[in-house]
Chains A and B, each alone.
Chain A
Amino acid sequence: MSAQESPTRAWFRRVAGLVRKERLQIRRDASSYLIAGVMPLLLLFIYGYGVTLDLRRIPLALVIERSTPESATLLTSFRNSPYFDVVLTHHRANVEDRLIAGTVKGVVVLAADFSDRTERGEAAPIQVIVDGSDPNTAGLVFNYVQGVWANWLDQISIERRGTIAPRRTISAVVIEPRYWFNPDVRSQNFLIPGSVAIIMTLIGTLLTALVVAREWERGTIEALMATPMGRAEFLLGKLIPYYVLGMTAMAISVVTAVQVFHVPFRGSIPALLIVSSTFLIAMLSLGLLISTLTRNQFAASQVALLTAFLPAFELSGFIFEIDAMPLPIRTLTYFLPARYFVSSLQTLFLAGDVWSVLGPATLALAIIASVFLTLLVRSTRMRLE
């Protein structure tokens, strides 16, 4: 060390030294790579293949109390539907157990007099029983059963009268849905951008939550305090390596999302960098804050789980719609960085650089980040109490 070294240079050198130390520590523990490299791929894989809200081959029991030509064609209609995996029985009695066991999600009952009544042109009710313990699937099953049923009725009337029943023409108003940004309504297109927020939350908060706590548990914090390093240098030295790690994980995720899962990316890279940097700084500060306050890795991991990961999963609009939550919880979501990041990511991927969404979101993220940073700087003490 030369005596003429300017204070700024010394400052930078100290920060660089600590960055190097953290980098080595990250490199030595293979589990850091696990979270930066494997975790993004694993999560994208789960949300690309596993978590899909598009109904597909839901097990459904069809009870036909008396087989007739009509009931046979209805059975074929259900078997041809991509939404159902049909189990045929002839008695109501054994479907109840299946519904309780959860091996079927819905039951369609055709009573013994079903064919006679349709022959006579009377109202022939079919009964649909759905498993309400999963209300979302229950609703979808009910709608799709009605769809299959309506198509079957059209078929029947074409066969009998050569025309479609007047039921169709009574629809005076026809409503045509068009889905913008996602015309095929793939649930992947909306889940995968959101899952990038989950990945960044995990890396940003969980990994950094352990960093300072580890130094306290192992006692190495004393060695750090014995150096001439100040508070700002200490924090920068901790933030920079994890910022790089987080942005790398994001790059991996975005490339995988576009290349492997064919999610369109319609925004611009600079906009993505601005929003995600702001989010990452907020999450890194939160992680270090947790670490500084708990000084214990078990407690830190639980707090990180509670304040960062679970809210990002459940309260961010990633899977569950924020509008449907009760008012107090909706209010709470305004304080969560993940909420802004999820909506920004969905917009960047599917719609483009819409600044009326990205602008307010980035501003909110910047405010949250500065609050966390301030708290972090205040709680960091470069001495042992």
Chain B
Amino acid sequence: MWHRIFTLMVKEFLALWRDPKSRAIIIGPPIFQMLIFSFAATQEVKNVNIAVQNRDWGTSSRDLIALFEGSPNFSKIEFLDDESQIPQAIDSRRALMVLSIQSDFSRRLAARETADVQMLLDGRRSNAAQIVAGYATEIVGRFNASLLQNERAPSSETIVVGRIWFNPNQLTTWNTVPSLVAILTTSMGLLVTALSVARERELGTFEQLLVSPLGPLEIIVGKTAPAFLIGLVQATNMVLIGVFLFRVPFLGSVWLLYVSMAVYLFSIIGVGLFISSLAKTQQQAILGAFVFMVPAMSLSGFASPIENMPDWLQTMTLANPVRYYIVIVKGLFLKNAPAEVIFANVWPMGLIALVTLSSAAWLFRHRME
């Protein structure tokens, strides 16, 4: 039996490896994606262009604008001469934010009155706009503090001391690299498994497999082994790139990483096989894989926190293996997560693997015999 499975595994590897294009695609793209997307997938806002329309001739407004000019978050400040230019600056996306300062700004401050500054933001990019509004509020806060410095001692009543754990410098790559290790392993593992059977069906060679002495279970094991090994090798490559190229610390246990990786790959392969057992053509398999993959990636906590979702959708994400694996990989990279935290996330993936693998096996047997 083992010999038969082994020969099928060899055949599967050869089928992928013999075609130079498939070979290049198994190795290259995940690394390439890692290099590009690690830098891209950030919610930070930097280098933003803003505009100022200053109708005040006094010095106070100039001091305020100087603070904006000094901020590293804004790359260019455009000065508008006229109020009528504001809509154009925002509409054409030249400025994400326009500050509009009234003509009595300096006079009011000199008279110790409150001066209003209008901040107009481009709601088409509402997330970035909100973050920029936060920066602006912070800058105005500093401006207010400097105004009051000479007048009275700073209020002593409140201090909020903030500390950021696990990523004290708030580096983007420390967040994106572990998440991408999880995300990128998914697409390859899924497509390799989903297509392995569909290709044979489409080309008509599946019948040949069926008349061979291989039983249904042996076919499944032989078909999934390449995807499993490819997944392991790729994840290893990406972890190494993360640690040595991006210098993301890996604080946790390597053993826990590989145990959870194996369970995760089984769950992904289970989904892939399930799709494969239903698909008659490669197109169906590929599209089926996408129909699973796009929601699984989008609702994994990578693009936005799961806690933001409505409750019923949060319940649905409990069936999403990517969700658990992201917590595991991040935990092992940044938090030195202990075994019990890892296992709390491993067993749901194991359950998903069990369900998908057994239903795929059942479907295969049903459709083969």
Are B158 and A172 in contact (CB-based, < 8 A)? no
Cα distance A122–B159 in the bound complex, in angstroms: 10
Least CB distance from A26 to B in Å reads 10
Task: Verify if B210 is at the interface (C-beta below 8 Å from A).
Answer: no
Task: Verify if A121 is at the interface (C-beta below 8 Å from B).
Answer: yes
B309: contacting residue among A52, A101, A186, CB under 8 A: A52
Cα distance A132–B137 in the bound complex, in angstroms: 22
Task: Verify if A57 is at the interface (C-beta below 8 Å from B).
Answer: yes
Would you give 11 A-B contacts (Cβ < 8 Å), ordered by A? A34-B288, A50-B304, A56-B307, A135-B44, A171-B114, A179-B126, A298-B199, A321-B43, A332-B36, A347-B124, A351-B91
Are B47 and A135 in contact (CB-based, < 8 A)? no
Least CB distance from A165 to B in Å reads 7
Are A56 and B308 in contact (CB-based, < 8 A)? yes
Cα distance A97–B40 in the bound complex, in angstroms: 31
Are A206 and B290 in contact (CB-based, < 8 A)? yes
Are A49 and B313 in contact (CB-based, < 8 A)? yes
Least CB distance from B203 to A in Å reads 7
Are B299 and A299 in contact (CB-based, < 8 A)? no
Are A165 and B157 in contact (CB-based, < 8 A)? yes
Are A214 and B283 in contact (CB-based, < 8 A)? yes
Task: Verify if B58 is at the interface (C-beta below 8 Å from A).
Answer: no
Task: Look across to chain A and name the residue whose beta carbon is closest to the beta carbon of B154.
Answer: A170
Interface size class of chain A, counting residues whose CB lies under 8 Å from the partner chain: 35 or more
Cα distance A16–B166 in the bound complex, in angstroms: 62
Least CB distance from A160 to B in Å reads 11
Are A131 and B290 in contact (CB-based, < 8 A)? no
B341: contacting residue among A51, A101, A123, A143, CB under 8 A: A101
- With A105-B307, A306-B33 in contact, do A190 and B124 touch (Cβ < 8 Å)? yes
Number of B residues whose C-beta is below 8 Å from A? Answer: 118
Chain B residues with CB below 8 A from A56, complex form: 307-308
Chain B residues with CB below 8 A from A306, complex form: 29, 32-33
Interface stretch among A6-14, A279-287, A322-330, A372-380? A322-330
Task: Look across to chain B and name the residue whose beta carbon is closest to the beta carbon of A30.
Answer: B284
Cα distance A143–B133 in the bound complex, in angstroms: 12
Residues 37-60 of chain A: 1 if any B CB is under 8 Å from the residue's CB, otherwise 0? 011001100110111111111110
Task: Verify if B1 is at the interface (C-beta below 8 Å from A).
Answer: no
- With A176-B119, A217-B202, A320-B40 in contact, do A130 and B290 touch (Cβ < 8 Å)? no
Q: Which of A241-274 contact B (CB under 8 A)?
A: none
Chain A residues with CB below 8 A from B48, complex form: 323
Q: Which of B91-123 contact A (CB under 8 A)?
A: 91-93, 96, 109, 112, 114-123
Residues 108-136 of chain A: 1 if any B CB is under 8 Å from the residue's CB, otherwise 0? 00000000001001111111111111111
Q: Which of B80-99 contact A (CB under 8 A)?
A: 88, 90-93, 96
Task: Verify if B147 is at the interface (C-beta below 8 Å from A).
Answer: yes
Are A51 and B44 in contact (CB-based, < 8 A)? no
Are B191 and A301 in contact (CB-based, < 8 A)? yes
Task: Verify if B168 is at the interface (C-beta below 8 Å from A).
Answer: yes
Are B195 and A179 in contact (CB-based, < 8 A)? no
Least CB distance from A217 to B in Å reads 7
Task: Verify if A145 is at the interface (C-beta below 8 Å from B).
Answer: yes
Are A180 and B122 in contact (CB-based, < 8 A)? yes
Task: Look across to chain B and name the residue whose beta carbon is closest to the beta carbon of A326.
Answer: B39
Task: Look across to chain A and name the residue whose beta carbon is closest to the beta carbon of B304.
Answer: A51
Chain B residues with CB below 8 A from A356, complex form: 88, 91-92
Are A173 and B92 in contact (CB-based, < 8 A)? no
Chain B residues with CB below 8 A from A130, complex form: 162-165
Interface stretch among B170-178, B214-222, B229-237, B263-271? B170-178
